[in-house]
């Protein structure tokens, strides 16, 4: 089983290949370039480095959000196009789930944070139990201060990951107590984690409907909110 995994939910552009539950290749870039400029060239480069072709792929995995609205649309459109063209399954993985998957260690609560603008973050809580990642709280939009306060009230260590953790890194470090900033090699989004999550689901016979899979936005875009203010009652 060879899975191509894509993660474009944040400013990080990441593509990976997972084969038989092993990460065999990954390209992860933190850049200001748009995902539309990077994604297809990176997929081509990844396959070349791994000495694989598109016809070797047996599934496509993609991060479905929350995250950057534009990034999610680009990633999902690319994943759907490849899955359709190759007639292979597609698996959507929530962005925060994939990020928590990077730290398979029990005894702590993992709190991925993504920037939700205006001082807010997307936050979810996870723990590892019996070798499985368990979601304690689903993704919600809260202020960054509220996110930290929630973690401080826990009776165990809390590890903060994700784009939101990078943006607020010094504040997390200064906060101290039971709240810890994840190290640099796991704090960012990585397609390898998306692919490994998808491998587990495929092993259980689970995948998504190509035509029904949609981004997990959590909140409406700023443009939609502005339109509603100008046209109350129309949405």
- Average pLDDT on 149-172 reads 95
Least confident of 28-32, 140-144, 192-196, 203-207: 28-32
Structure token pair of residue 77: 């459109």
Structural domains in the chain, sorted by start: 2-95+189-229 (3.30.420.40), 103-187 (3.30.420.200)
- Neighbour-count burial for 179-212, b at 16+ CB within 10 Å, e otherwise: bbbbeeebbbbbbbbbbbbbbebbeeeebbebee
Q: What is the mean pLDDT of the chain?
A: 92
Can you tell me the distance from the alpha carbon of 6 to that of 17, in angstroms, rounded to the nearest whole number? 9
Can you tell me the distance from the alpha carbon of 95 to that of 231, in angstroms, rounded to the nearest whole number? 32
Q: Is the pTM value of this prediction over 0.85?
A: yes
What is the share, in percent, of the chain residues with pLDDT greater than 90?
Answer: 83
pLDDT digits (tens, 9 = 90+) for 115-143: 998 899 999 999 999 999 999 999 999 99
Residue appearing with tokens 């990176």: 42
Q: What is the pLDDT of residue 234?
A: 59
Least confident of 45-59, 168-182, 220-234: 220-234
Q: What is the pLDDT of residue 223?
A: 43
- Average pLDDT on 181-189 reads 90
pLDDT at 45 over 60: yes
pLDDT digits (tens, 9 = 90+) for 84-114: 999 999 999 999 999 999 999 999 999 999 9
Can you tell me the distance from the alpha carbon of 113 to that of 220, in angstroms, rounded to the nearest whole number? 18
Can you tell me the distance from the alpha carbon of 31 to that of 70, in angstroms, rounded to the nearest whole number? 15
Q: What is the pLDDT of residue 233?
A: 63
Residues contacting 29, CB < 8 A, separation 6+: 12, 13, 14, 38, 42
Which stretches within 92-213 are classed as H helix? 95-100, 144-152, 163-167, 169-175, 184-187, 191-203
Q: Give the closest residue to 4 by CA, choosing from 59, 52, 44.
A: 59
Distances (CA, A) of 22 to 8, 25, 195, 210: 21, 9, 9, 25
């Amino acid at each position: 089983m060879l899975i191509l995994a894509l993660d474009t939910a944040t400013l990080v552009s990441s593509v990976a290949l997972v084969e038989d539950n092993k990460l065999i290749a990954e390209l992860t870039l933190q850049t200001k370039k748009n995902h539309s400029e990077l994604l297809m060239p990176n997929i081509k480069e990844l396959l070349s480095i791994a000495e694989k072709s598109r016809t070797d792929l047996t599934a496509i995995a993609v991060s479905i959000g929350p995250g950057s609205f534009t990034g999610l649309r680009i990633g999902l459109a690319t994943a759907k196009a490849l899955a359709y063209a190759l007639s292979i399954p597609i698996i959507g993985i929530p962005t925060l789930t994939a990020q928590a998957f990077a730290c398979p260690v029990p005894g702590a609560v993992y709190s991925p944070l993504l920037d939700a603008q205006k001082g807010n973050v997307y936050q979810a809580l996870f723990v590892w139990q019996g070798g499985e990642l368990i979601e304690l709280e689903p993704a919600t939009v809260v202020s960054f201060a509220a996110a930290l306060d929630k973690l401080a009230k826990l009776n165990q260590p809390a590890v903060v990951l994700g784009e939101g953790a990078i943006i607020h890194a010094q504040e997390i470090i200064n906060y101290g107590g039971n709240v810890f900033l994840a190290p640099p090699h796991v704090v960012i989004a990585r397609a390898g984690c998306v692919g490994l999550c998808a491998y587990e689901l495929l092993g259980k016979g689970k995948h998504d409907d190509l035509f029904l899979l949609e981004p997990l936005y959590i909140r409406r875009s700023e443009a939609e909110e502005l339109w509603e203010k100008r046209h109350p009652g129309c949405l």
